[in-house]
Structure 1
Amino acid sequence: MLFNSYAFIFIYFPIVLFGFFLIGRRSTRAAAGFLALASLFFYGWWSVQALPLLVGSICFNYWAGLRLTRAPGRTDAARKRMLVFSLVVNLGVLATFKYADFFVGNVNEGLSTAGIAPLPLLHVALPIGISFYTFTQIAFLVDCWQDKVHERSFVHYVLFVTYFPHLIAGPVLHHAQMMPQFANPATYRVDFDKVSLGLAIFVFGLAKKLLIGDPMGQYADLMFTGVHNGVQPTMASAWVGVMAYTLQIYFDFSGYSDMAVGLSLCLGVQLPLNFNSPYKSTNIIEFWRRWHISLSTFLRDYLYVPLGGNRKGPARRYLNLFLTMLLGGLWHGAAWTFVIWGALHGFFLMVNHLWNAKVRRNAKPGVVGRVLGWLLTFVCVMIAWVVFRAESMTAATAIYKGMLGMNGMTQSIFSEFGSIPYRKPEFFQTMLVGLIICLALPPTITLQRWVPQAQMLAGRPRLAWIFTAAMAVFTVILLGVCVSKLGSYSPFLYFQF
């Protein structure tokens, strides 16, 4: 079930919203159980076959979490063995479903050169959202071992893992962010301010996806698919196509994150910020503090720091950065293109930290320096997106050649792909609007600050009423425009991860 579907917007979510608060008036535990079951239904709508794996993962990790808790007669050595065992199980399941065929395929390439018969592929279907709910539970287990977990309600744990706004494509949640909210009785009492604000954030996220992300994706797909089929792009086609994908992935994933935050806020639960205008970044370090914040935080806390972080000297620090991003790239998908993408960002981060340490030191850049830093960062991000999106390294290489002008400078934009829509001005208008939103406007989530700013007008009730009414009318009109775009199958990009 997609957030951007008639079934979700007009049937599923209204039933869940009313049912949650209606049951919550009598029993908070029952309401939490209802929401957990509704979330399992939401997941099962996608794939009933994958539901047992999710339920089994939840039961195993809840049991492992209890075994990791300090108790009389339970030694630290025994707890550590349980931690290692539970991590091996989680990573083993993830590796089997997500990376088995990738590994076997690479082994087969080596076997073929030696004249040995290839191994059979497993052809295991990838369960949707497995990377997100596995990482969420790994963080829970590590925190149990570190005595950071105190909430032990099984119902709340199931809800924490399956909570439908984040289950399929994040954000990667931390138990400390969610468990106290599920245990708070106020969560189960309807707050109309939160509901109205949540709906506005949802609509803004929906507009990002449908009005900018999807149109950009149509043009990006045309270029990338054409190159995969053997077309050699000119410089203009390559750069415009890569820019289209740069905007597509931003508005697709940022839109999903906004929708998740908005839906959750309607239910009285605050999800963490996952995007903070990353394309405004003036260096790659800042970019990773703004892009997919929950994943960046997870990689820092549960991979970079355990590897040693910056505690073992500069050389080890750079190696840890590179390895963290390399594994972060592999997390996104079982393909060498994702590994290269992670390696590129690892290299960018190494260069950025080296520059800060040896050249810039503590000096703050001026206006020109910030502009040049932004331009360099944005171009580096675009360059890395090529391998992230390309279906093979061969296709990525062809696009890089096009970006360098090795296939000619320009023709009628995308005419080599036989695309009439690229001649329409709507494409460039949408691209311009997307760039303005990325670079000039605050994140959608700051609606939580925009609306409270109306309190500044408390002494002027007429202006406050006009402000609120204008926001409401604009949101309703925007929702109407978005609903007119519903109907076609348009999954979110991060569903594949």
Structure 2
Amino acid sequence: MIAYFFGKNYALAVLFISSVVFYIPYGIASAILLILALVVNFSVAAAITIIGDDNKNRRKIYLAGQAYNIISLCYFKYKIITLLFGPSAGIMVDIAGIAIPAGISFYTFQGAAFLADAYAREKNVAQFLGGLGSTKSICSAFGRYGAFVSFFPQLIIGPITYLSEFNPQIQSKRFLRLNPIDLAVGLSFISIGMFKKVVIADNLAPTVDIVFGAAHVGAEIHPLQAWIGALAYMGQLYFDFSGYSDMALGLARMFGLRYPINFFSPFKANGIIDYYRRWHMTLTRVIARFLYTPLSVAGTRYSMFNRLAPVPAHLLSLWLPMLINFQIIGLWHGALWTFCVFGLMHGFWYALETEVRATKWYKAVKKTASPIILGFIERAVFFLPLLLSLAMFRSESVSGGFHLFSQMFGTAIDARSLFNMREPVVMLTVAFSIIYLCPNSVEIMRRYRPAIMTYENKSYGPAFLRGLWRPGWVQASYISILVIASLYYVSRQPPFLYQGF
């Protein structure tokens, strides 16, 4: 915080350097790739900011910058060269053989969004970069940009932040000031997030590993244990990602920054459409911006220009863009067939739900039915396909995923027990009680505007449990209990699930 007294540029430069130091333990090669991505994207953004709109090279430079982002992501994350050319690629295979750089998907998308804003001449970009007429001003601008993209709380697993959300806050006098409320809210978020991760998610993990490992080798699994394994992964993924998201918001808030919400009670959603407004929200909006919206607009224009019949026009404007959009969301997690199947399942599901909700029948039912009953039915219908799709997502192979499905709905009641069910059942009861009965951390601290609302989402669950958090001894006692419970388990130090994506 002392850096603030030397000026914001100096403070942001220190923050940038500190974030790079934080990243170095993930690998020197990964750190070099991060810095290279920062240099390339900053250089392209600076160039297209300076160049006039009438200069034809402006678009070429912008596309070259985005091409770098796409190629580097595909090469280092998906090992495209290795897959295409094999050992004959020589040194290229050796380079691609390094571990997938931590957080490459997140900082690449954040850099790509920044370039798009710069190309569109978004006012925050010009203000953020400032004058670029001297070496000193360029270095200062790069320090600010480096802090924006590589800020350590969100570097590895997001949220993917827009400059329009970051820049106004660093201009504020509140930025980097020691504020008791910011510290209290931030520490509370961190404590809640750590509890979710190390106490709940990590205690569900052993059951998940046993069941999915057995499914991968085609072993017989008792149907009850197959269901427990699938539900355990559902809970593990929820609390793992939710826990990290809370900690990222808390760390940012301690620096005086409100980051966009990436996670808002997604299992309380009333359908797949609502789900993607609650789960990994910042990824949803970025992919919609770069992929679904352009494809849908292009399909609609093509259909209108060629006067296509309603069915093919609808396929081009909705179904095809939707399927491509979700296939990319699936592959964003990695180059595995299970992710492809997951993407197809969610793509068809999203398009089908969109069609159903647009029918006169559904609109009539919505008008006449009780909102409480309708919401309960929708969430009940939503639960099973979500459970199955997440089980496929976790499976080590497509065949292993379908084998698990067969065991869940099978009759192998004589199969040997894979684990003692007492602890997993208790953990599942605790986990899903928290998911469905308790308010999320953002709702608890909403009085203090803890984060930026990425989407406006309805709060579900009993209203009497959505008490407002206030700094005080009672809240401090609750938080202390969470911290003590977390410290009891924290020595295991397993990685976050989304760290691998």
Q: Do both proteins adopt the same fold according to a TM-score greater than 0.5, normalized to the shorter chain?
A: yes
User: In structure 1, what residue type is equivalent to 2:104?
Assistant: I
Say if 1:182 and 1:411 are closer, same or farther in 2 by CA, change over 3 A: farther
Q: Name the structure 2 match of 1:472.
A: 476
Q: Name the structure 1 match of 2:362.
A: 360
Q: Name the structure 2 match of 1:211.
A: 199
Contact 2:226 2:407 in 1 (8 A): yes
Say if 1:484 and 1:362 are closer, same or farther in 2 by CA, change over 3 A: same
Contact 1:156 1:179 in 2 (8 A): no
Per-residue deviation, residues 181-200 of structure 1 (Å, max 9, x unmatched): 22333202111111011101
Tell me the distance in 1 between the aligned counterparts of 2:194 and 2:413.
Answer: 35
1:427: how far off? 2.1
1:268: how far off? 0.6
Say if 1:240 and 1:450 are closer, same or farther in 2 by CA, change over 3 A: farther
User: In structure 2, what residue type is equivalent to 1:324?
Assistant: N
Q: Name the structure 1 match of 2:333.
A: 332
1:450: how far off? 5.4
Percentage of matched positions with identical amino acids: 28
Tell me the distance in 2 between the aligned counterparts of 1:179 and 1:221.
Answer: 42
Tell me the distance in 2 between the aligned counterparts of 1:347 and 1:76.
Answer: 43
Q: Name the structure 2 match of 1:430.
A: 427
Q: Name the structure 1 match of 2:492.
A: 488
Residue 352 of structure 2 corresponds to residue 351 of structure 1: yes
Contact 2:26 2:101 in 1 (8 A): no
Contact 1:233 1:398 in 2 (8 A): no
Which structure 2 residues correspond to residues 252-401 of structure 1 after superposition, within 5 A?
Answer: 252-309=240-297, 311-312=300-301, 314-315=314-315, 316-358=317-359, 359-361=361-363, 363-364=365-366, 365-366=369-370, 367-401=372-406
Q: Select 2:227's aligned residue among 208, 233, 239.
A: 239
Per-residue deviation, residues 90-129 of structure 1 (Å, max 9, x unmatched): 111111111125x754888xxxxxxxx9988653421111
Tell me the distance in 2 between the aligned counterparts of 1:258 and 1:355.
Answer: 34
Query: Which structure 2 segments of 5+ residues have no match?
Result: 130-140, 302-312, 451-467
Q: Name the structure 1 match of 2:441.
A: 444
Q: Name the structure 1 match of 2:66.
A: 87
Per-residue deviation, residues 245-274 of structure 1 (Å, max 9, x unmatched): 000000000100000001110111111111
Contact 1:337 1:388 in 2 (8 A): yes
1:317: how far off? 1.4
Q: Name the structure 1 match of 2:459.
A: none
Tell me the distance in 2 between the aligned counterparts of 1:48 and 1:362.
Answer: 60
User: In structure 2, what residue type is equivalent to 1:337?
Assistant: T
* TM-score, normalised via structure 2 length: 0.84
Tell me the distance in 2 between the aligned counterparts of 1:216 and 1:465.
Answer: 28
Contact 2:444 2:469 in 1 (8 A): no
1:70: how far off? 5.2
Residue 150 of structure 2 corresponds to residue 162 of structure 1: yes
Q: Name the structure 1 match of 2:32.
A: 52
Say if 1:35 and 1:452 are closer, same or farther in 2 by CA, change over 3 A: closer
The number of equivalent residue pairs is 449
1:228: how far off? 1.8
Contact 2:266 2:275 in 1 (8 A): yes
Residue 7 of structure 2 corresponds to residue 27 of structure 1: yes
Tell me the distance in 2 between the aligned counterparts of 1:375 and 1:484.
Answer: 36
Contact 1:303 1:324 in 2 (8 A): yes
Query: Which structure 1 segments of 5+ residues have no match?
Result: 1-20, 109-116, 454-463
* TM-score, normalised via structure 1 length: 0.85
Contact 1:238 1:403 in 2 (8 A): yes
Residue 103 of structure 2 corresponds to residue 98 of structure 1: no
Aligned to 2:276, what secondary structure does the other structure show? helix
Q: Name the structure 1 match of 2:236.
A: 248
Tell me the distance in 2 between the aligned counterparts of 1:118 and 1:451.
Answer: 58
Tell me the distance in 1 between the aligned counterparts of 2:275 and 2:65.
Answer: 33
1:71: how far off? 3.3
1:67: how far off? 1.6
Tell me the distance in 1 between the aligned counterparts of 2:218 and 2:295.
Answer: 42
Tell me the distance in 2 between the aligned counterparts of 1:339 and 1:99.
Answer: 13
Say if 1:472 and 1:452 are closer, same or farther in 2 by CA, change over 3 A: farther
Q: Select 1:132's aligned residue among 89, 103, 106.
A: 106
Q: Name the structure 1 match of 2:305.
A: none
Q: Select 2:18's aligned residue among 32, 35, 38.
A: 38
Contact 2:338 2:395 in 1 (8 A): yes
Residue 204 of structure 2 corresponds to residue 202 of structure 1: no
Contact 1:194 1:265 in 2 (8 A): yes
Aligned to 1:397, what secondary structure does the other structure show? helix
1:369: how far off? 2.7
Per-residue deviation, residues 421-464 of structure 1 (Å, max 9, x unmatched): x333x3222211111111122211223225689xxxxxxxxxx9
Tell me the distance in 2 between the aligned counterparts of 1:180 and 1:188.
Answer: 13
Q: Select 2:413's aligned residue among 410, 413, 416.
A: 410
Q: Name the structure 1 match of 2:160.
A: 172
Deviates more, 1:176-185 or 1:47-56: 176-185
Contact 1:32 1:155 in 2 (8 A): yes
Contact 1:232 1:398 in 2 (8 A): no
